[in-house]
Structures are given as structure tokens and as C-alpha cells.
């Protein structure tokens, strides 16, 4: 089997590549990534010389190059992780979100239509549903995204599904909840808060801190994606949730506590515009193909904090001028 993975130099994509190479002794991987500010080949250092792994620098919006890659590599499976992923950046500057998340997905779907493959796994998100006060989202619920990020992801998700309905493309879609674990770019809340505390800075908590996210350890998500890739049905959508709902304040206090710090390190800042109150997923459908999360939040958050403690070099290198400029725009600091 040959897997073409887009966005494999990012957080979930790189974890997924490690997972696949370890688990399947015959699978080959072609990783195509534009290497944006959060694409990082350091995440793949351990496999860069692996005989079954190859990296190609490529923007998924580059139609000709994508066509050439499909022609030359003839992948069996395509897994589309490539995206602009940070909600706050989508509020500051939505252009790249529409281009990569929507138009880029369209270019990939067209390449799949032309060249034919066994399966196109499109990585979508729980944020496409919008916010839910009570209960949990099921796969057939309406998509009511509230940020330019989630709207661009919802558009791509719907387009992918339409290529199944209209052209019978073998599309499967996953919508997962908030991931955490190794190699997550330190602009997302968990690595941002850990790295801030380790540098003696405060942590910027938006609004009241009462917004709720459902957290899934990235390894559990990779196993869920693997299950859907192999055992999901064409045209179907699968929620992949961790079942660990926490308010942002609870999450912050867990991190502070693990690092022997108290609430005085919290700085309440202006709320995010259009900030979704709560995400929660019903995972009955994916559990029917044999997947469930294995990690408890209590263990996996400790593992994650330890990883950032042990890999200071990894995240310190990411503290670039670009990131500083972003923080300046975002927090005016
Ligand atoms: P990430 O931002 O860490 O990585 C995204 C990767 O895509 C980077 O390597 C980047 O260089 C690459 N990329 C961006 N634009 C590209 C382009 N035009 N062409 C080729 N490559 C490009 O993101 P992540 O957290 O690993 O998320 C991966 C996918 O999972 C995304 O589609 C995201 O929407 C989805 N998702 C993420 C989460 C989460 O909690 N992180 C939850 C649900 C769904
Ligand atoms: P984030 O990691 O950006 O993921 P998403 O917006 O995709 O869920 O944010 C997770 C939650 O943490 C979200 O409710 C916003 C909040 N948050 C803060 O309170 N402060 C921060 O500095 C960041 C980045 C996020």
C-alpha cells in the first residue's frame, strides 16, 4: 500500500506517519507538505531516512504539481491533513484558510477523480458543527461553523462528501475533537500554556475561561483515523472524540498544578471573537468499527507536559520572528 499524506509535517500528520510506519511493515508513505510556519520536518527526524518514507515539498493548491505527484507515485490511499488550523489566525487573516482548506481540498479531489485511488480520507473537525450547549453532535447534524477556520473546514468537508455522491469517489471523513500531545505547534492552547509557564510568563485565558473543549490524545486519534481508513465505509462520516470535556479554566489549572504553579499565573484577556462555547461528540458510529480512546486524560496530559519539558529545544526553535509578530497582533504584547 502506498499512502499519500498531505500536511504530514504538522502535528497530527507527523504523529500519524510515525504510527503507520511502526504498525504496517509494508506500507510506503509519501508526505507532501508546503512547510508553512507550523510545518516542521523536525517532527519527522526519526524517519527521514526510512526506506518506506519520502518527503516532497508541495502546496496542495499547486494543481500541476499535485497532478504530477499523483501520476508518478500512484498512491492507493490519500489522507488529507494539510490545512491552516489556528482559529485566532483565521480571525486576523482568513485568506490562506479559504485557499488551502477549501481550494486545496478541491484540487486534491480533482486529482483523485482523474487518477483514481482506493480511498480518500479527509480530516475534518468537530468545529464544523459549531457550538452545542447540551448533548453531543452526531454525524448527521447540520454544520453551523462560527469561525473562518471552521467555515473553511466545513466547506471542504461538504465538498469531499459531494465528490462521493456525484462522482462515486471513495471518500471517508473524520471529525475529531481537540487533539493534544507531542509536536503540537506552541500557539495552540496546551503547548502555548506549557511553554509560557516554563519561560516564566503568564497564560492568556480568553473571556471567562468557561468554554469547554473535548480533548483527545493524538495517538488515540491516529488509531481512530487508521480504523476509519481501513474499516470505514465509503461516503460515511465518523466522529472521533476523546470523551474528556474540560472548561479552559479546568484545563489551565491542571497544567499549572502539574508544573507546581498557582492561579496567579493566569491572565484573563479579551475573549476570542465568535468563541464557541462547547464542543462534544457522540462516538457511537466509530465505536461500531472497533475504535475507542485508550488514554485517560489524567495520564496523557502528564505525558504531554513531560514531552514539552524534555523537548525544550524543539519548541524554542519555533519561537521565531513570525511567531513574535503573531503574538503582538493577537495579544498586543
Ligand atoms: P498543523 O497546523 O499542525 O499542521 C498542518 C500542516 O499542513 C503543516 O505541516 C503545514 O505546513 C501543512 N500545510 C498547510 N498549508 C498547506 C498547503 N497549502 N499545502 C500543503 N501543506 C500545507 O495542524 P494539525 O493540528 O496537525 O491538524 C491537521 C488536520 O487535522 C487539519 O486538517 C485540521 O483541521 C484537523 N484537525 C485538527 C485538530 C486539532 O486539534 N489539532 C482537531 C480536529 C481536526
Ligand atoms: P485552541 O488550542 O486554539 O483550539 P480551538 O480553538 O481549535 O478549540 O483553543 C482551545 C481553547 O482554548 C479555546 O476555547 C480557546 C482557548 N484559548 C485561550 O483561552 N487562550 C489562548 O491563548 C488560546 C490559544 C486558546
293 falls within a domain: no
Q: Give pLDDT tens digits for 43-62.
A: 999 999 999 999 999 999 99
Q: How confident is the model at residue 65 (pLDDT cuts 50, 70, 90)?
A: very high
Pocket test for ligand 2, best of 124, 208, 213 (most atoms within 8 A of CB): 213
Apex 177 CA angle, 199 and 195, nearest 5: 5
Give the whole-angstrom CA distance, residue 147 versus residue 217. 24
Ligand nearest to the backbone CA of 187: 2
Instruction: Locate 185 and state its grid cell.
Output: 505547534
Q: In angstroms, what is the span from residue 36 Cα to ligand 1's centroid?
A: 10
Q: Give pLDDT tens digits for 72-83.
A: 999 999 999 999
Nearest CA to 126 out of 276, 273, 253 is that of: 276
Atom of ligand 2 nearest to the CA of 205: 19
Ligand nearest to the backbone CA of 80: 1
Q: Answer whether 153 contacts ligand 1 (Cβ < 6 A).
A: yes
- pLDDT of residue 194 exceeding 70: yes
| pTM > 0.85: yes or no | yes
Give the whole-angstrom CA distance, residue 100 versus residue 108. 11
Which CATH number covers residue 236?
Answer: 3.40.50.720
> Is 127 one of the catalytic residues?
yes
Give the whole-angstrom CA distance, residue 207 versus residue 189. 14
Q: State the residue range of the domain holding 110.
A: 2-180+215-240
Task: Say how many C-beta atoms besides its own lie within 10 A of residue 293's C-beta.
Answer: 23
Instruction: Locate 63 and state its grid cell.
Output: 494543481
199 falls within a domain: no
In the chain, the percentage of residues whose pLDDT exceeds 90 is: 96
Per-residue pLDDT at 113: 98
3-class DSSP string for 164-233: HHHHCCCEEEEEECEEECCCCCCCCHHHHHHHHHHCCCCEEEECCCCCEEEEEEHHHHHHHHHHHHHHCC
250 falls within a domain: no
Q: How many domains does the chain have?
A: 1
297 falls within a domain: no
28 falls within a domain: yes
Atom of ligand 2 nearest to the CA of 212: 14
188 falls within a domain: no
> Is 126 one of the catalytic residues?
yes
CA dihedral 157, 32, 35, 23 (to 10 degrees): 90
Pocket test for ligand 2, best of 189, 205, 247 (most atoms within 8 A of CB): 189
Among 127, 157, 214, 276, the one annotated catalytic: 127
Per-residue pLDDT at 156: 99
Q: Give pLDDT tens digits for 261-311.
A: 999 999 999 999 999 999 999 999 999 999 999 999 999 999 999 999 999
210 falls within a domain: no
> Is 206 one of the catalytic residues?
no
Q: Give pLDDT tens digits for 27-36.
A: 999 999 999 9
47 falls within a domain: yes
Q: Answer whether 186 contacts ligand 1 (Cβ < 6 A).
A: no
Per-residue pLDDT at 333: 58
Amino acid at each position: 500500500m502506498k499512502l499519500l499524506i498531505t500536511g504530514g509535517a504538522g502535528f497530527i500528520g507527523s504523529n500519524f506517519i510515525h504510527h503507520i510506519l511502526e504498525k504496517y511493515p509494508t506500507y510506503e508513505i509519501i508526505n507532501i507538505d508546503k512547510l508553512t510556519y507550523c510545518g516542521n520536518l523536525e517532527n519527522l527526524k526519526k524517519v527521514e531516512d526510512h526506506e518506506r518514507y519520502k518527503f516532497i515539498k508541495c502546496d496542495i493548491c499547486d494543481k500541476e504539481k499535485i497532478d504530477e505527484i499523483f501520476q508518478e507515485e500512484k498512491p492507493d490511499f490519500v489522507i488529507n491533513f494539510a490545512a491552516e488550523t489556528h482559529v485566532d489566525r483565521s480571525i486576523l487573516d482568513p485568506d490562506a484558510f479559504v485557499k488551502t482548506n477549501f481550494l486545496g481540498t478541491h484540487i486534491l479531489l480533482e486529482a483523485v477523480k482523474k487518477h483514481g485511488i482506493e480511498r480518500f480520507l479527509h480530516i475534518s473537525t468537530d468545529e464544523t458543527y459549531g457550538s452545542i450547549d447540551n448533548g453531543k453532535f452526531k454525524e448527521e447534524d447540520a454544520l453551523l461553523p462560527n469561525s473562518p477556520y471552521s467555515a473553511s473546514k466545513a466547506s471542504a468537508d461538504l465538498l469531499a462528501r459531494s465528490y462521493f455522491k456525484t462522482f462515486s469517489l471513495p471518500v471517508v471523513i473524520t471529525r475529531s475533537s481537540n487533539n493534544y500531545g507531542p509536536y503540537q505547534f506552541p500557539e495552540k492552547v496546551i503547548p502555548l500554556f506549557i511553554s509560557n509557564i516554563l519561560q516564566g510568563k503568564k497564560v492568556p485565558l480568553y473571556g471567562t475561561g468557561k468554554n469547554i473543549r473535548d480533548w483527545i490524545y493524538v495517538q488515540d486519534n491516529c488509531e481512530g483515523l487508521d480504523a476509519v481508513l481501513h474499516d470505514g465505509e465509503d461516503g460515511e462520516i465518523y466522529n472521533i472524540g476523546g470523551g474528556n470535556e474540560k472548561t479552559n479554566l479546568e484545563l489551565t489549572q491542571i497544567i499549572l498544578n502539574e508544573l507546581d504553579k498557582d492561579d496567579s499565573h493566569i491572565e484573563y484577556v479579551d475573549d476570542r471573537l465568535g468563541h464557541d462555547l462547547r464542543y462534544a461528540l457522540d462516538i457511537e458510529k466509530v465505536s461500531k468499527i472497533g475504535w475507542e480512546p485508550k488514554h485517560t486524560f489524567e495520564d496523557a496530559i502528564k505525558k504531554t507536559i513531560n514531552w514539552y519539558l524534555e523537548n525544550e529545544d524543539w519548541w524554542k526553535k519555533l519561537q521565531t520572528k513570525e511567531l513574535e509578530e503573531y503574538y503582538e497582533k493577537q495579544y498586543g504584547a
